[in-house]
Amino acid sequence: MAEGTDTPTAILSHASAALRESPFDDVSYRALGDAVGVSERTVYRHFPTRSHLLEGVADWIETTAFPLPPFVTIPEFREAARSRFAAFDASPAFAFVCARAASISPTGETEPTYFTRALVAMLATNYPSLNERDLRRIAATLRYFASAQFWARMRTGFEMSSPDIADVFERSVSQALAVVTTTGAVADRATGRASA
C-alpha cells in the first residue's frame, strides 16, 4: 500500500485498476486484499457487500475519471455534460460501472452529492422564485439526464455515440426547463395549475 494512502482508498484504487482487465463481477475480494497488502477480511470490513464495493468504486471512478467540470450557469452545465458524455465514450467500461452502481439501492450516506448541490444552487440562482420541492424535482431530472445511467441507456438501447446522446440530453434539458415559467413557477402538468 502506498505511503499516506488509507486502506479504503487503496482498495478502491486497485478495484478500478482491475476493471481495465476484468469485469466488475470477476474482481475478487481476495485479489483486492493481496494487491493492497491486507487480508480479504479487511476488504470485507470496509465493503461488506458487493453493492458496497460497487458503489464505492463508482464514486471513485466518478471523482477520478469523470470529474464534472465546474458550472454556475445553465449553458455551463450543458457544456459540462457534453464533455462528460465524451469522457464516457472514451472509457465505456468505467462508465458502465457507474451506470450499474446508479441502479442499485444506495448503501452509503443519504447526503446529497456535490453534483446535486451544484445543480440546486444553479437552479436557485437562475430561478430564484422556485420553491424547494420544485428545485429538487428539476435538479433530479437534470442530474439523471447528465448521468452515466442515461448515457448507458442511450448507448446500449439506441446505439448512440456521445454527440447523439448530447443532442438528446439538450432536448431533454430544454423540455425540463420549459416547465419553469418566466415567473419561476413550475406548471403542474396533472392539474394545469402552477406551483409557486
Separation CA 13–CA 7 (nearest Å): 10
- According to the model, what pLDDT value does residue 24 have? 92
**Structure-model confidence comparison of residues 109 and 181, the more confident one:** 109
pLDDT band at 181 (very low <50, low <70, confident <90, very high): low
- How large is the average pLDDT for residues 97-116? 80
* pLDDT given at position 106: 73
The average pLDDT across 135-150 equals: 94
Spatial neighbors of 116 by CB under 8 A, at least 6 apart, are 139, 140, 143
- Estimate the share of the chain in helix, then strand, then coil, as percent rounded to the nearest 5: 65, 5, 30
pLDDT band at 30 (very low <50, low <70, confident <90, very high): very high
C-alpha cell at 77: 452545465
pLDDT of residue 141 exceeding 90, the answer is yes
Q: Is the pLDDT of residue 90 over 60?
A: yes
Kindly report, residue by residue over 150-173, the tens digit of the pLDDT. 999 999 999 999 999 999 999 999
Say which residue, 102 or 78, is predicted with more confidence.
78
The whole-number pLDDT of residue 190 equals: 42
Q: How many CB atoms lie within 10 A of CB 16?
A: 20
- 188 pLDDT more than 50: no
Mean pLDDT of 82-103: 94
Which residue would you say has higher pLDDT here, 123 or 187? 123
Q: What is the architecture, at CATH level 2, of domain 7-48?
A: Orthogonal Bundle (1.10)
User: What are the structural domain ranges in the chain?
Assistant: 7-48, 63-195
Cβ-based neighbours of 7, under 8 Å, separated by 6 or more? 1, 36, 38, 42, 46
Q: Is 189 a residue whose pLDDT tops 70?
A: no
Give per-residue burial for 110-137: e unless 16+ CB within 10 Å, then b. Answer: eeeeebeebbbebbeeebeebeeebbbb
Task: Please give the pLDDT value at position 4.
Answer: 55
Average confidence (pLDDT) over 135-141: 93
**What residues contact 72, with CB distance under 8 A and at least 6 apart?**
121, 122, 125
**Does residue 104 or residue 97 have the better pLDDT?**
97
Answer yes or no: are the C-beta atoms of 148 and 102 closer than 8 Å.
Answer: yes
**Which burial class, exposed, middle or buried, applies to 38 when counting CB atoms under 10 A from its CB (0-12, 13-18, 19+)?**
middle
Residue with more model confidence, 113 or 72: 72
The closest of 115, 175, 177 to 146, measured between CA atoms, is 115
